[in-house]
Homo-oligomer: A and B are copies of this chain.
Amino acid sequence: MNKLFHALFEPLFEPRRIALIGASADEKKTTARPQRFLRKHGFKGEILPVNPSRSEIMGDKAYKNLEAIAGDIDHAYILLNGKDAVEALAACGRRGVKVASILAGGFADAGAAGASLQDDLARIVRETGIRLVGPNSIGTVSTDPPMALTANAAFAVDRLRAGSWAMVSQSGSLIGALLSRADARGIGFSRLISVGNEVDLAVGEIADLLVDDPKTDAILLFMETLRDGERLAHAARRAHAAGKPVIAYKLGRSEIGQELAKSHTGAIAGSDATFDAFCRRHGIARVSMFESLVDVPALLVDRPPARGKRVAVATTTGGGAAMVVDNMAMAGLDIVDPPQALVDWLKPLGIAAGEGKLVDLTLAGAKPEIVAGTIERLLADDGNDAVIFVVGSSAQFNPELAVEPLLKFAKSAKPFAVSLTPSAEKSLALLTAAGVPAFRHPESCAEAMAVCLLRPTPQPVPALAEPARGALDALAAGRVSGFDERCAADFFAALGVPVAKALAIPDAKRIAAAVAEIGGPVALKILSADIAHKTEAGGVALGLPDGQTAAVAAREIEKRVKAHLPNAKLEGFLVQKMERGLAEVILGFRRDPLVGPTITVGLGGVLAEIYKDAATRLAPVDETEARQMIDEVKGLATIRGYRNLPRGDVDALAKAIAAFSALAHQAFADVSEAEINPLLVKRDGEGVVAVDGLVILSAAKDLMPVAIGD
């Protein structure tokens, strides 16, 4: 925490003098709400309504304009629309207001006219140095000291519950939804902020502030898009180091969801796999159920990262626990047997716990000392990484008795959670108040435990060596003449990906010599900058065993191509060694507009496309991460030793992936996409070889920055 931090954090979350520009005296109006809610929830600072036609609003002195206010203004909430809002922001900038928020939508979220207005906002921010929340921000709220600077109807609640989790949301209305859901569970927040269109302050920078906020120990994000990925990456890494989990719900898991996120906020939503890759690299826990945003933090705050994914489950209700277990197993967790020490301890009590993976105490074992003794022994066992206790009807009828033996495990070093099988609001409240993570649905309990145990920790970003001279040369050549097959192959080879041996020859006469040099069988491809689709033009022949056959094929190719495209300028042939492998891999590099450079590995061929079987990471990756990617592609089991099939050269594949991912280097910033398809994986020890590929350069020079790490 430093001066710069305070210069932004305090006016944003703990302002003392707040101007409300366009505040209404009509209490029914939305623009009257900020003043009402500030008062209602006990704001102790000064409220400065600005309204040209009033001298007083709800007991506060009102000002004709900003200039009429003496002294510093920490935060101004602009409640005007369109151009009026732009003018107000300009006035704030001139006046030296530290932070402004704008309530109104109708900017980039509403077509071209709005986008132009939004550009005006961005210009004012640039020129005056004022910091801006929004537009389209329904407000910013702190609970301690209370500061409910918001027009969100959800803050009409009588009491604003304080807590230590902060919520940052790209959707204003979902702040209210989460507030109410958390409150119903006895959970409060430290800060809640609606970031709107993020012209200036975006999720990442705000999350970064919250890392240093002593009142906040978990950062929850509701996201529709990602506008400041670099800053969020930075914040997530700092949060991890500070022991504050960052937990994100993001719309757009389905394609239609992505479209909606787009139309809803005027932003591009990005693909779901790249956002997952972003979360994984930078240590953000992503949840798939909305209420998990309030369900999950208790499992993560103040606990060391989990060591594995083995869960021990004890219960007094076999059926209820079986539901939790079924869902956890589907989420990829392992359920483990109870330790012998527990089995031995339970036996004389008449409880047979060794027969399944569940420790079913049954009704007979529902005594507090048995429950507590069971959980103690499970938590002490090195054979699991987390413990769940599933409570039955006692949670409903005897909440105090049912939860009493569980409360002391609130501070367990290992994740410990309680799942309630019946509807048992009282038990839920008691457990929550005591800090014991408790769940009311088997599905949400399973999701939370999966997020807890499988959540990523920030991964170091591999250092990139200076690119090889050859790669820079090939890229330079490609920039001039375009990336034909030959040029792409040179580029990939220079990056360190083995490519199939090939020779370019000017005419068919040299074919026999070329085949002799390369060794048959070969593939023959027409070379012509005028022919984009060689196969369709009849310009390709495969599997030619010797020079003679190749010569015949070359004549046929020429004949076909001339018939098909009489005006194409032919530049000879590419003679390429036919390669075989155990598996075909597709390797893709792409600069994603949201998260920056990404690399994708998938099984090649049509089936892989159908099964969408691929692993995506932020680029670059090192060989270790490349190995993890290979392991994640299901179909590559065929080269990992599945069912006695011959092993492929997975090490060489990992090396090739890592080498290809070096495209993330700034020197290659105009490579917007590159693909090798197929990359053939040979037997273990025999390497990999790229057979075909392409490189796409970005026309525009407004390139995306390389995503950074820490």
Chain A positions within 8 Å of B, measured between CB atoms, are 30, 152-154, 156, 171-174, 176-177, 179-181, 183-184, 222, 224, 251-257, 259-261, 263-264, 289-291, 317-323, 325-327, 329-330, 335, 355-358, 360, 363, 392-394, 396-397, 421-425, 441-443, 603, 606-607, 610-611, 613, 634-635, 637-638, 642-643, 645
Q: Which single residue of chain B is at the shortest CB-CB distance from A185?
A: B423
Other than the known A173-B318, A251-B326, what 8 A-B pairs have Cβ atoms closer than 8 Å? A153-B397, A154-B393, A253-B330, A254-B327, A257-B326, A263-B355, A263-B356, A289-B443
* A271 → chain B closest CB, angstroms: 14
In the assembled complex, the CB of A252 is this many whole angstroms from the nearest CB of chain B, namely 7
A264 touches B356 (CB 8 A): yes
Contacts of A396 in B (CB 8 A): 154, 176, 180
What's the Cα separation between A131 and B349 when bound, in Å? 36
What are 10 contact pairs spanning A and B, CB under 8 A?
A152-B393, A154-B393, A173-B393, A177-B421, A177-B423, A181-B423, A257-B322, A291-B441, A606-B638, A606-B645
Contact residues in B for A180 (Cβ distance below 8 Å): 393, 396, 422-424
Provide the residues of chain B in CB contact with A606, threshold 8 Å. Answer: 638, 642-643, 645
Majority secondary structure of chain A interface residues (helix, strand, loop or mixed): helix
Q: In the complex the two chains form, what is the Cα distance from A184 to B426 in whole Å?
A: 12
Taking CB atoms, residues of chain B closer than 8 Å to A319 are 171-174, 177, 222, 224, 251, 264
Q: Is the CB of A289 within 8 A of B184?
A: no
Query: Once bound together, how far apart are the Cα atoms of A224 and B358, in whole Å?
Result: 15
Interfacial chain B residues near A329, Cβ < 8 Å: 254-257
Chain B neighbourhood of A425, CB < 8 A: 184
The answer to whether B156 and A397 touch across the interface, beta carbons within 8 angstroms, is: yes
> Which of B253, B260, B397, B613 sits near A358, CB closer than 8 Å?
B260
Indicate whether A290 sits within 8 Å of B355 (C-beta atoms), given known contacts A251-B322, A326-B260: no
Q: Are A357 and B256 in contact (CB under 8 A)?
A: yes
Once bound together, how far apart are the Cα atoms of A607 and B638, in whole Å? 8
CB-CB under 8 A from A613, the residues of chain B are 611
> In the complex, what distance in Å separates the CA atom of A327 from the CA atom of B290?
11
The answer for the CA separation of A363 and B423 in the assembled complex, in Å, is: 33
Q: How far is the CA of A248 from the CA of B299 in the complex (A)?
A: 32
Residue of B at shortest CB range from A264? Answer: B318
With A264-B318, A358-B260, A638-B606 known as contacts, the answer to whether A253 contacts B326 (CB < 8 A) is yes
Closest B residue, CB atoms, query A313: B260
Given contacts A260-B326, A606-B643, contact A422 B635 (CB under 8 A): no
Contacts of A638 in B (CB 8 A): 606-607, 610
CB distance from A357 to the nearest CB of B (A): 7
Query: How far apart sit A12 and B261, CA to CA, in the bound complex (Å)?
Result: 54
Q: Write out the residue numbers on chain B whose beta carbons fall within 8 Å of the beta carbon of A355.
A: 263
In the complex where A156-B397, A222-B319, A260-B358 touch, is A392 in contact with B254 (Cβ < 8 A)?
no
Distance of A329 Cα from B272 Cα, bound (Å): 14
Q: Let me know if B642 and A610 touch, CB within 8 A.
A: yes
What distance in Å separates the Cβ of A124 from its nearest Cβ neighbour in chain B?
27
For the complex, what is the distance from the CA of A214 to the CA of B610, rounded to whole Å?
A: 49
Residue numbers in B under 8 Å from A424 (CB-CB):
180
Residues from chain B with a CB closer than 8 A to the CB of A320 are: 173-174, 177
- Chain B residues with CB below 8 A from A252, complex form: 326
Please state if B289 and A441 are interface contacts (CB–CB under 8 Å): yes
Partner of A176, one of B171, B393, B637: B393
